[in-house]
Amino acid sequence: MIIFGFSSSPREGDALSSPCSHCQQSAQVALRSFNYFHLFFLPVIPLGSKQGVSCTHCQKTLWGRDARAIIEAGAADDSDLPGRPFWHFVGPVAAAALIALVLLSGPSDRSIRAAEAAAAPSVGDVWIVNMEGAIPDIEIELTYGVGRVDEITEDGVYLGFSDWQYDSFLQALTASRKAAAGRDDEYFTTAGVWFSRDEIITFENAHDFIWAFSAEELKEGAKAG
């Protein structure tokens, strides 16, 4: 059973100068209640917050518009209001860490496949290329290019490059996968560069060539999907 729902946690802020409307004591503090969506009571999505005012003397507590008016009248600025408790971010941070782990744990498996693809290239293999590293003479605007193995001879491998370039490896990977899966013929061009087989291995070792996927893998993915 999955337990989930909405919850909130109130936090106390600074003391307000205005007296309590109920007991007239200057004992009011600003409150802020932070909503979140929880999964098994672990906050996973931080949602909005609401403002409140509580009297530490008589315990009278107001929320919403009435509270806001008091806070504003009490000349409390935003700094008087407490911030979201850090543990509300435990879920989002854990989720981000999990995603990062999935993305980064790939490489052990990926790096083996990359080394294999460099040693034994096949037509249709797609490489994300750090252009500055692999082709320093070429003029490019962004760091990562995408090359597809179009031809293989005894001596070398011809990579047809996409016109598209990217800031990050991940962008390049996502876009090239999408283009290849969607059979976007205009994504890869026939304009490219010959690399020797040794160069491919060298660049792969230096991480200037990052194996993205093979034609084979994409076919399997399409079947599975």
Which residues contribute to the site for Zn ion (CB under 5 A)? 20, 22-23, 55, 57-58, 60
Q: Which is nearer to Zn ion, 59 or 122 (CB)?
A: 59
Rounded CA-CA distance 7/27 in Å is 27
- Minimum CB distance to Zn ion, residue 19 (Å): 8
Pairing outcome for strands 42-55 and 4-15: unpaired
- Minimum CB distance to Zn ion, residue 79 (Å): 23
Q: Which is nearer to Zn ion, 58 or 181 (CB)?
A: 58
- Minimum CB distance to Zn ion, residue 39 (Å): 38
Q: Which is nearer to Zn ion, 58 or 152 (CB)?
A: 58
Reduce the DSSP state of residue 104 to 3 states and report it: helix
Q: Which is nearer to Zn ion, 71 or 149 (CB)?
A: 71
- Minimum CB distance to Zn ion, residue 68 (Å): 18
- Minimum CB distance to Zn ion, residue 56 (Å): 8
Q: Which is nearer to Zn ion, 17 or 196 (CB)?
A: 17
The angle at the Cα of 70, spanning 65 to 76, to the nearest 5 degrees, equals 115
Contact 25, 59 (CB under 8 A): no
Reported in sequence order, the residue ranges of the chain that DSSP labels E, i.e. its strands, are 4-15, 28-39, 42-55, 61-63, 126-130, 144-152, 156-166, 188-196, 209-213
Contact 58, 23 (CB under 8 A): yes
